[in-house]
Amino acid sequence: MKFIRPYILIIVLVLPIAVFVALKAFNPVRFDSDAMKLAAPSLHHDNLIALPELVYPADRLIIDVSENGACMRKLPQGALHIPADSILDKRNLKIIRKNKLPLVIASDDQGEAARIWMLLSQMGVEPLYILRDSTDNEVLKYKFRPDSTIQAGIEE
């Protein structure tokens, strides 16, 4: 006991920290997502759905996250308006988590819809889609051609 007595203060301080670190390290609920797995639907455009594809809107929950509800007039009946800044309110999260249908995020700002999509996908909400406008995203007008003058300069 005499050997431990000088180290009691150190043990009392270090032991709770060691226990806390061990609990955090072995906790299966901790946020440990794979970024590539989360981004894969976005990279492959699997998370996009067009308005004509919503043949049976009753089979999906559509939420307009724009601030003023600008998308509501073009959405099918039954769509909800939840502004993006209040999507994490308890009442709104309860609606989203209680939903068993695929969830479609709509907004007049595609960037805002993408941010909400990423947030909800990190929270485990699925299946989850972004309503895209009818125009194709990032269609290039001209075919890419490398600059041959730069290539010639590098070889010299």
Question: Maximum distance among all alpha carbons in the chain?
Answer: 83
Higher pLDDT, 134 or 25: 25
Residue 28 lies in a domain: no
Residue 102 lies in a domain: yes
What's the pLDDT tens digit per position in 14-39? Answer: 888 988 888 877 765 555 566 677 77
Residue 118 lies in a domain: yes
Residue 10 lies in a domain: no
CA distance 103 to 59: 9
Residue 64 lies in a domain: yes
Average model confidence (pLDDT) across the chain = 78
Q: Answer whether 0.75 is exceeded by the pTM.
A: no
Q: Print the domain residue range for 100.
A: 35-132
Residue 121 CB contacts under 8 Å (≥ 6 apart), including other chains: 38, 41, 128
CA distance 81 to 100: 18
| For range 121-127, the mean pLDDT | 86
pLDDT at 91: 94
Residue 119 lies in a domain: yes
Domain count for the chain, please give it: 1
CATH number for the domain harbouring residue 82: 3.40.250.10
Contact between 49 and 131 under an 8 Å Cβ cutoff? The reply is yes
Higher pLDDT, 87 or 2: 87
Residue 46 CB contacts under 8 Å (≥ 6 apart), including other chains: 40
pLDDT at 140: 56
Higher pLDDT, 38 or 91: 91
